[in-house]
Amino acid sequence: MVVYKCFKCGKKINTNDLDKRFVCPYCGSKIFYKPRTVIKKLKAD
């Protein structure tokens, strides 16, 4: 399991919650980062 943080709202999101759609369930942002690594853009389609 991988945990990302939403770049916009800062909520933690794990990959199980995303269910293959990389969209923040809280704010709809598509930009996440891993707390320990660099910012990463993920495609939603």
Residues contributing to the site for Zn ion (CB under 5 A): 6, 8-9, 24, 26-27, 29
CB of 45 to Zn ion, least distance (A): 18
Q: Minimum CB separation from Zn ion for residue 44, in Å?
A: 13
The pairing of strands 39-41 and 31-33 is: antiparallel
Assigned token pair, 27: 């704010």
Instruction: In the chain, count H helices and then E strands.
Output: 1, 4
Q: Which is nearer to Zn ion, 20 or 24 (CB)?
A: 24
Nearer to Zn ion, 1 or 29 (CB): 29
Q: Residue 30 has which token pair?
A: 């598509």
